[in-house]
Amino acid sequence: MPSSNENTALVPNGAREAYNGQDIDASKRHDGNTEMHQTEGGFLKPLIFGGLDGILTSFAIVAGAAGGKMPASVVLVLGFSNIFADALAMGVGEFLSSKAENEWILSERKRENWEMENYPEGEIREMIDIYVERGMSLEDATVVIQTMAKYKDFFVDIMMTEELGLQVPEEDHRAESMKEGVVMFCAFASFGALPILGYVIIPALFPNVGSDVLFTAACIITGYYTNFDYRIFYSAANWFKCGMETLLLGGSCATVAYTVGQFVDAHVVQTSSS
């Protein structure tokens, strides 16, 4: 029967597990096998950004309403209308910004391609200088760059990365931008609805509960989901640190919203009514 280390080397993602366990022998045994990569990381930014922004935005509405002593009906109207309008705006904004960035990168690639066609010696020399600055000898850098320069499209992509620090998008970049916008919309709307759903579900089950109980439930839901950070699945970040970062962010937003709600209720609403 193979040992646990051998099993680590034989699983489809054994190389990653070998790295996580700092198991050199398992890494060597896995060399040459097919490795599964976490391709979902491309949507990590809109997922985290949309989810956190959505849940914190809706909780800020709840906290402000609680500070201003508004009824639950006001929280529901303001909350759901604001969440879905903001989700649409965030989704469209993510799509347009991603699409614009990709189009700009492709325009820069056209310029680099033109320079390579009309003055290849200068581009090759620039790349050699970059590799030399990074510690490669002049002779080795010259051999490497001149070899890559034989393959123009490949070399232009390398130039984009090494000279400009830009990753050339895929040909279907518009579809990818659309997917990012959809992920942003769904994350914002779904997570944003969570604190407000308590104002729907709890009164349906317990009709006599007060607004303080509803606000407490919203705090618990927000605290739980802000600690549930998707970064721990896609990086080596410490789960406790990630959770504390988002919890502190959520607490800050809630404090500001609640304080402003109290201030407006005390100095504007009550003054106007009196």
Q: What is the pLDDT of residue 16?
A: 61
User: What b/e sequence results for 161-184 when a residue is b if at least 16 CB atoms lie within 10 Å of its CB, and e otherwise?
Assistant: eeeeebebbeeebeebbbbbbebb
How far is it, in rounded angstroms, from Cα 89 to Cα 150? 46
Alpha helices in 119-238 (DSSP H): 120-133, 138-148, 152-164, 173-205, 211-227, 231-234
- What's the whole-model pTM score? 0.70
Q: What is the pLDDT of residue 171?
A: 79
Most confidently predicted of 13-22, 134-143, 161-170, 231-240: 134-143
Specify the higher pLDDT residue, 247 or 164: 164
List the structure tokens of 272.
Answer: 């106007």
Residue 19 CB partners (closer than 8 Å, separation 6+): 27
How far is it, in rounded angstroms, from Cα 62 to Cα 84? 15
Q: What is the pLDDT of residue 207?
A: 73
Q: In this predicted model, what pLDDT tens digit does every residue of 49-94 receive, in sequence order?
A: 888 888 888 888 888 887 777 888 888 888 899 999 999 999 999 9
How far is it, in rounded angstroms, from Cα 134 to Cα 267? 62
Residue 4's pLDDT band, with cuts at 50, 70 and 90, is very low
**CA-to-CA dists, residue 229 to 215, 219, 232, 271, angstroms:** 22, 17, 6, 43
In contact, 214 and 201? CB cutoff 8 Å: no
Q: What is the pLDDT of residue 113?
A: 93
Q: Tokens 């489809």 identify what position?
A: 12
